[in-house]
Structure 1
Amino acid sequence: MGHKADSSFFAFKKPWSRRKDTILAYYLEPYLAKVRRLGRPVLLVDGFAGPGKYGDGETGSPSIMCEKARSAMEVAGPTVEVWGIERDAALHRSLESNLSEFHFFKALSGAFDDYVARIRGKAKTHTTFVYVDPFSASAIDLNRLTQLAAPIAETKASVELLLNFNTPIFVRCALAALKRHVPPPVAGEEDVGESYEPGDSGDSPVDLDGLDQITGGNWWRDAMSERLSFGEKIDQVVAGIERQLRQRFAEMCWVGIKAKQEHPIPKYHMFFGSRHPDALELMNDAMVKARGASDFEVDMFASQEIDPLIIGLAARWLPRRELMLGVVRRAFCRCFWKDIRGRIEVLLKQGQLVSESGKKRINDETRVKQADGLRAV
């Protein structure tokens, strides 16, 4: 399916679109520098590209991809192709026109689902990054999405996925399909101004089969238990999507992004999947860096607040890098990678951690563990 956004949606860039694009931009620059070492051409795909630029002149996600690709190739980076997929005929024409300056860009007409097999085939020879940010939740088919990762197992290919999922919309559609009470958005708890009710859009998935297709199964129905609050239902759906994606991606993380910091209900969740822990490191730092333009579901750690987690994970000997990855997996988007490394150094100097070498300044391969007598947290 495609999104139902028409040209009016792209008249000017909304705050939430700016937040998502900030994360995308912050990630792609170090990503392209990193994958250059693989020695393979790169494919960047925007599955729901829109016109590429907004009516107010601001760049859209396919434009950001093209700009980052051009910059990477100018400094002897990898050969990069960028595909922008757009179903709406008028938006597709605008996409072709707006990005015509980029010779490596292809504006593809049709629905994202129509190109999954083609992307999957391309991923066997290209390092591939796919951005999926549909206007409507009904455009997502999780089983189809996870097929993109098949080349990882088949050819050890590098395939990464960044998925935006409007979880509150999905939960309201699910409750409507089950003929249960659909709670209206509450001011002060979530973004009422950008809210959605089932039936607002022509392709809203209010039938059970459509919801099963979105989530790759019927597991979501248990998450709609009347015993759970609206926020708890959202948490259950997020956990279920993570489980589905983790079957294909060795590294899987997500973060909820709010319209306002005081809202307990995030506006949407961004899920990221990759085969490689290096990508987790890069995306964590991209998300933390983007916090200045966004309100996230989790708060930043003060430097000393991360210490109990580090000490707890170091209950056995671990290489420093593996310990740092453990922190990111447990507390994604809470602090920069360099700050985790810095706290490990402080804990070594304080004697709360010990290194196998006996030194306080160590490298990523040096094993560390908590000092004797300390308890894991």
Structure 2
Amino acid sequence: MSTGTNGSYWQGKALPSVFKHELLRRYIPPFGGMTSRQSQDKRVVYLDGYAGEGRYESGEPGSAEIALRVASYYRSRGLKLSCFFVEEQAKSFERLLEVLQTYRARGVDARAHRGEVDGVLDDVVLRARGVPLFLFLDPCGLCLPMERLVDVLARRRPGTRPATELLMNFSMMAVRRLGGHVSSPKGNEKSLERFDAVCGGRWWREYFSGAASEQDAAEAVAAEYARRLEQQTGMSVQSVPVAADSHVKPVYHLVFATHSPYGLWVFGDAVARARDEWWKTLELREDDALFSAASLKRPDPATVEKEAVPAMARNLETLLLRTRRPVKLVDHTLEVFGTYYGQVTEPAARKAVKLLHSQGKTPSTGVGEKRTRELIVRPAA
């Protein structure tokens, strides 16, 4: 269902790609580290369903090469990342093969398929039987139908072990474009029906019927899509908008789905770090065609954390008062971070515990565990 890329796409990495590629770079390694023990041969399967050329003409790695680099790193440490890449366009596929060959020569398990991801998905799922699976779906247009995703995530890969996770591009530009077809007498019904399949029904059309704001309608569709995916798969789903600031329309949402509280925790930390890197890049590209830098005002990470820590301490206090028993931070990720999920990195959670301790509201000091997520916080006597 991808609409393809124009001739200039692979000349250099555009701003929207900076965020998701940084996120991939930060999340894939810990995913493998956390889940590889679920496989007897310490193997993890990775599928990039819209791989493109693998590398930009500028030499920067695309999503495929990012995964290949991780696979090479894994191999040197006794772990195996089996990579599957799918690309439909002939020219892009040829260049992708060139990139893959370099890593195959180093012993990386990498395979490519020319065609649509739907045609190879069943085979990849079969090859991932008994081992963790990570799906990265980044189309330029519409993604797979909801029913197809639910079939893989909930029916063919049910439960928490072996791990199954999804990171998917939900195009807001496509949502806004198709939303304009709903009330137009010249609307393309076939295009609307394709999006019906993506959303798992016609429900999304209601948001654009007489909507006061196209942007509000599009954001409501994205939120409801994530909610329905969560409901139908039984997974925790987070939808992350990617935009320059609150005054710019998101280009897409990154939809992440996991069964694991550890995945939810690490993903939030990776989002915060990727967001910071994205802002740095954005400031250097004031002439980028998608975003106007004239109104840029990058949030200062230190200021955001300073605001977040007391808010997170209050969240923890509320959690302890409700449960009246010790809680491990990783088991309550969204409750602890609250609205700051994906905005601040995990050290903020340790600082929140220490703040709560200084206020006499917990005997837990916030020290004693190497990883913040493993901290156990106890209620005050």
TM-score range with shorter-chain normalisation? 0.7 to 0.9
- Which residue of 2 is the match for residue 105 of structure 1? 110
The structural deviation recorded for 1:7 is 4.5
Aligned with 2:378 (options 362, 368, 374) = 368
C-alpha distance after superposition, 1:288-347 (max 9, x if no partner): 111222259x96443334333333333322513234452246542022223112212220
- Which residue of 2 is the match for residue 84 of structure 1? 85
- Which residue of 1 is the match for residue 140 of structure 2? 135
Q: Does 1:27 align with 2:32?
A: no
- Which residue of 1 is the match for residue 349 of structure 2? 340
CA distance in 2, matches of 1:324, 1:48: 31
Secondary structure of 1:100's partner?
helix
**Cα pair 2:183 2:209 within 8 Å, conserved:** no
CA distance change for structure 1 residues 136 and 368 in 2, over 3 Å: closer, same or farther?
same
CA distance change for structure 1 residues 335 and 210 in 2, over 3 Å: closer, same or farther?
same
Q: Does 1:354 align with 2:339?
A: no
Aligned with 2:318 (options 312, 321, 328) = 312
Secondary structure of 1:271's partner?
strand
Aligned with 1:46 (options 45, 48, 69) = 48
CA distance change for structure 1 residues 237 and 82 in 2, over 3 Å: closer, same or farther?
same
- Which residue of 1 is the match for residue 289 of structure 2? none
User: Which residues of 2 match residues 214-293 of structure 1 at below 5 A?
Assistant: 214-246=198-230, 247-258=232-243, 260-293=244-277
The structural deviation recorded for 1:34 is 1.8
**Cα pair 2:211 2:217 within 8 Å, conserved:** no
CA distance in 1, matches of 2:51, 2:189: 21
C-alpha distance after superposition, 1:20-69 (max 9, x if no partner): 11111011122222223223411111100001111222111000000011
TM-score between both structures, scaled by the size of structure 2: 0.81
C-alpha distance after superposition, 1:169-199 (max 9, x if no partner): 3122122143179xxxxxxxxxxxxxxxx9x
Secondary structure of 2:12's partner?
coil
The structural deviation recorded for 1:365 is 7.0
Alignment gaps of 5+ in structure 1: 182-197, 199-203, 373-377
CA distance in 2, matches of 1:231, 1:135: 20
In the alignment of these two chains, the number of paired residues is 344
- Which residue of 2 is the match for residue 159 of structure 1? 164
Aligned residues with identical type, % of pairs: 22
Higher helix share: 2
CA distance in 1, matches of 2:305, 2:167: 24
Q: Does 1:11 align with 2:11?
A: yes
Aligned with 1:125 (options 121, 130, 134) = 130
CA distance in 1, matches of 2:258, 2:249: 27
CA distance change for structure 1 residues 120 and 154 in 2, over 3 Å: closer, same or farther?
farther
Greater mean deviation of Cα atoms: 33-42 or 108-117 = 33-42
Secondary structure of 1:307's partner?
helix
**Cα pair 1:253 1:329 within 8 Å, conserved:** no
**Cα pair 1:13 1:54 within 8 Å, conserved:** yes
Secondary structure of 2:321's partner?
coil
**Cα pair 2:305 2:348 within 8 Å, conserved:** no
Greater mean deviation of Cα atoms: 165-174 or 90-99 = 165-174
Q: Does 1:207 align with 2:213?
A: no
Look up the equivalent residue of 2:315 and give its one-letter code: L
**Cα pair 2:265 2:333 within 8 Å, conserved:** no
Look up the equivalent residue of 1:256 and give its one-letter code: P
Secondary structure of 1:207's partner?
helix
The structural deviation recorded for 1:89 is 1.6
Secondary structure of 2:167's partner?
strand
- Which residue of 2 is the match for residue 145 of structure 1? 149
Look up the equivalent residue of 1:172 and give its one-letter code: R
CA distance in 2, matches of 1:123, 1:261: 39
C-alpha distance after superposition, 1:102-131 (max 9, x if no partner): 221111111011122223223322211111
**Cα pair 1:42 1:81 within 8 Å, conserved:** yes
CA distance change for structure 1 residues 360 and 367 in 2, over 3 Å: closer, same or farther?
closer
CA distance change for structure 1 residues 126 and 171 in 2, over 3 Å: closer, same or farther?
same
CA distance change for structure 1 residues 205 and 73 in 2, over 3 Å: closer, same or farther?
farther
**Cα pair 1:324 1:341 within 8 Å, conserved:** no
The structural deviation recorded for 1:238 is 1.6
- Which residue of 1 is the match for residue 290 of structure 2? none
Secondary structure of 1:314's partner?
helix
Secondary structure of 2:9's partner?
helix
| Root-mean-square deviation over aligned CA pairs | 2.9
**Cα pair 2:38 2:131 within 8 Å, conserved:** no
**Cα pair 1:42 1:127 within 8 Å, conserved:** yes
Greater mean deviation of Cα atoms: 335-344 or 301-310 = 301-310
TM-score between both structures, scaled by the size of structure 1: 0.82
CA distance change for structure 1 residues 155 and 119 in 2, over 3 Å: closer, same or farther?
farther
CA distance change for structure 1 residues 270 and 11 in 2, over 3 Å: closer, same or farther?
same
CA distance change for structure 1 residues 6 and 107 in 2, over 3 Å: closer, same or farther?
farther
